Structure 1
Amino acid sequence: GLEIYGAGQWLEEKHGAKSRRNWRKLHLALDAGSGDIIAHVMTDQDAGDASQVKALLDQIDAPIGQFTADGAYDGSSTYDAVAWHSAGATVVIPPRANAVKRPDAGPSSQRDRHIAAINTDGRMKWHAATGYGKRSLVETAIGRYQSIIGYRLRARSFGAQQTEVAIGCAVLNRMLACARPKSVRCKTVTA
């Protein structure tokens, strides 16, 4: 989350009085191959994560191959939004610990396959098999945003805060493009 530097914060800094903190949630979509931020949505602190999937996907023009998210996104609305955007996309979201198969789902329900795989092989093998570990790239991007751009929004209005976040994401993408190494795997020759 990003803190809002508003009217209550100067009072806290000056007098030490505690006031209720307001903050904004930053939802990011990353290209797992390049690490670039390809979509972002900023909401207030009360908005649910799963409700922002369609808004993120609407910013992405090309079809996606895989949608990976944490358990907060688990739900039929997320699976439906991804299927609507990219029909062949794989959805990798860990089902809740008490998840059960949906009786009305078709035989190819991705969520039901995830539940079955976790019940059969365990959650750690499911993580390795599905590539769920790539989800940490988003956490890394949020950490990069907060350490480089800052964890506090300076703008006062919501529209200006959205502009501030958009500029921050563009700056991070530009910095990453300049700093990304261009690596080539060398073939070793054994004699």
Structure 2
Amino acid sequence: MAIIPPRATAVPSDQAVTAPTQRDRHIQRIAETGRMGWQRETKYGRRSKEETAMARYKGILVGHFHARTPPAQQAEAMIGVSALNRMLDAGRPVPVRTA
């Protein structure tokens, strides 16, 4: 499930009417630990890395999947990732000690 941070001006919903929602709990944790603490707790940075990886994949290889079914899309993604990793390995410098 995607975790979307609430806005800085967000306020909890009226809890007298309903039970606290996930959004209310996130707002409470941000108030207690600060936004950076909340991002560490929820591993929010991981989402950013995943989105960047998919953008890189789509930008280099193809903008969309050609397969229609999820298993076929997964196979297509694995083939694409394998090709992308080979390209990255080919362009990665090999460190050599000179002294």
AA paired with 1:167? H
Q: Distance in 1 between matches of 2:56 and 2:80?
A: 15
Structure holding more strand per residue: 1
Identity value in percent: 33
Structure holding more helix per residue: 2
CA contact (8 A) 2:61 2:80 kept: no
| Secondary structure at 1:166 match in 2 | coil
Deviation at 1:119, TM superposition (A): 1.2
Deviation at 1:148, TM superposition (A): 1.9
Match of 2:10 in 1: 99
Q: Does the C-alpha gap of structure 1 residues 115 and 177 become closer, same or farther in structure 2, counting only changes over 3 Å?
A: same
Q: Distance in 2 between matches of 1:102 and 1:148?
A: 44
Which residue of 72, 81, 88 corresponds with 1:176?
Answer: 81
Match of 2:62 in 1: 149
Q: Distance in 2 between matches of 1:128 and 1:144?
A: 26
Q: Does the C-alpha gap of structure 1 residues 105 and 143 become closer, same or farther in structure 2, counting only changes over 3 Å?
A: farther
- Give unpaired runs (5+ residues) of structure 2: 86-99
Q: What is the RMSD computed on CA atoms of the aligned residues?
A: 2.5
Deviation at 1:177, TM superposition (A): 6.0
AA paired with 2:47? R
Deviation at 1:138, TM superposition (A): 2.0
CA contact (8 A) 1:118 1:126 kept: yes
Q: Give the TM-score of the pair, scaled to structure 2.
A: 0.61
Instruction: Confirm whether residue 119 of structure 1 aligns to residue 42 of structure 2.
Output: no
Within 5 Å, which residues of 2 pair with 1:21-170? 67-68=1-2, 92-103=3-14, 104-107=17-20, 109-136=21-48, 137-149=50-62, 165-167=64-66, 170=73
Deviation at 1:116, TM superposition (A): 0.8
Q: Give the TM-score of the pair, scaled to structure 1.
A: 0.34
CA contact (8 A) 2:57 2:81 kept: no
